[in-house]
Amino acid sequence: MNAPLTIVWGQPVTVELLLIVCLLFLAALALGWGLGRLSRPSRAYPVNKAQAQAKDASQDAFRRGLTHLMADHTDQAIEEFTRAVTLNSDTVETYVVLGNLFRQKGEIERAVRIRQSIIARPNLQQSVRLQALFDLGLDYRKGGLFNRAVESFQEVLALDGHHVEACRQTVSLYEEVREWEKAFEAARRLDKLTGQDSRAVLAHYKTELGKEFMAAGQLERAEESLDQAISVHKGCLDAYLHLGDLELARGRARRALNVWRKAVRLEPMHAHLVVNRVTAAEEQLGERAASAFFEELDTEQAEVTTLLALAERYHRIHQDDKAMEMLSLAVKKDPTQLSAHRLRGEILLDQGRREPALNAYAELLKHVEGDWASYQCGHCGYISHQLTWKCPRCHQWDSMAPRRPSF
């Protein structure tokens, strides 16, 4: 299991590393205090005994808090850190750790109050203020207060325009609330800071915006956004798919088919998405044009998902010989495909061929207990029965692909 992460001074670190830093910090304090005692004349500076005792007790509480934290005793750690800041409120680092623990427990209001108390301190170092503001944004985000979280990260960026983590958080937040234009601009800024190239993701933002315009009936603005998506990244399959939908909605069937042909050439792996669209719009496209499109497909190289989509189309128009041909290819490529066995059985039953149908269903039953999800994320391994352009688990774009058989 990976070590849990936290954010310190704008960088992700493990809790173990944070503990080491805190221990080194305490060791440095102790060393400095000891050297000061050795080098100071005994009568030059009278010591306030009560203050010294309070600081010693605070440090003891802090050390006990670290011990509890290392043992994953969060409640006891919070109790000791709270005692430490009660005895000595000057140590900002203790407040930072305490605030992070409250956020981890979901006690967002207490975490926010701690950040605000840090920010309100006079003569606060700029780096400490930035960290407190950044942590405040994380607190708000954990609490679902997305607008306030964005405001906090924007304030960090106003003070430090090169704060990469604040910019990254802003991009992620705009994605989450589907503010696609703002996500686009924030991601471009992040690219400039990191030197990365996220054009593929930027194209998805424009595509998502285009979909929303289409749903609202604003077809011109939808076309503009989809064209911008393709301009940003010519490999954005989703943009081509929906641009074809848009052309069809405008009654431009030939243009729609041409756009979808480009989509198939661009991503043969996802050709089934186009096959399903052409099948659904076959009447509007015209039987001759649709049939020509299907005949152009290279079925020997096609993915199983594409072969299944073709088989369903041929079965629907009563071309069962072609349907069975597609299903045979599909089963040859992946014997675990339940949908292929099921459709074969249906066709054979329709033809009155009971024994071959029973064999098809028997083959299906062999794989019912198997892992037969259709898509898998190439980044984190997440499996799904539906295609999403962004993985629901690791949130990577374009990482979901048709799942290959494991035999």
The helix (run of H) or strand (run of E) holding residue 139 is helix 126-142
Radius of gyration of the chain (CA): 31
What CATH code is assigned to 197-296? Answer: 1.25.40.10
| pLDDT for res 38 | 35
Type of residue found at 257: L
| pLDDT for res 51 | 63
The answer to whether 239 and 180 have CB atoms below 8 angstroms apart is no
**Same fold for the pair 5-34+51-159 and 197-296:** yes
| pLDDT for res 199 | 96
Task: Extract the tokens encoding 68.
Answer: 């509890």
| pLDDT for res 60 | 63
Q: Which residue bears the tokens 């329709």?
A: 350
Give the length of the chain. Answer: 407
Reference 406, options 388, 385, 379, 381; nearest CA is 381
Write phi, then psi, for 402 (nearest 5 degrees).
Answer: -55, 135
Residue-wise pLDDT tens digits, 286-342: 889 999 999 999 999 999 999 999 999 999 899 989 998 999 899 888 887 777 777
Domain boundaries, the chain: 5-34+51-159, 197-296, 298-381
CATH class in words for 5-34+51-159 = mainly alpha
Classify residue 269 by its DSSP letter.
Answer: G
| pLDDT for res 217 | 95
| pLDDT for res 52 | 64
DSSP bridge partners of 11:
8
3-class secondary structure, 390? strand
Task: List the chain pLDDT tens, one digit each, 407 residues.
Answer: 344 444 544 445 454 555 554 544 444 444 343 434 333 444 444 456 666 665 666 666 667 766 756 666 667 666 666 665 554 556 777 777 778 888 888 889 988 998 898 888 888 889 889 999 999 999 999 999 999 999 999 999 999 999 999 999 999 999 999 999 999 999 999 999 999 999 999 999 999 999 999 999 999 999 999 999 999 999 999 999 999 999 999 999 999 999 999 999 999 999 999 999 999 999 899 889 999 999 999 999 999 999 999 999 999 899 989 998 999 899 888 887 777 777 877 887 777 777 766 666 556 555 554 444 578 888 888 888 788 889 988 889 988 888 765 44
99-108 per-residue burial string, b: 16 or more CB within 10 A, e: under 16: bbbbbeeebb
Please give the Cα distance from 377 to 402 (Å, whole number): 9
Alpha helices in 233-319 (DSSP H): 237-249, 253-266, 271-280, 282-285, 287-296, 304-316
Please give the Cα distance from 175 to 353 (Å, whole number): 53
Residue-wise pLDDT tens digits, 179-225: 999 999 999 999 999 999 999 999 999 999 999 999 999 999 999 99
The helix (run of H) or strand (run of E) holding residue 14 is strand 11-14
What CATH code is assigned to 298-381? Answer: 1.25.40.10
Classify residue 365 by its DSSP letter.
Answer: H
| pLDDT for res 363 | 64
Write phi, then psi, for 390 (nearest 5 degrees).
Answer: -125, 125
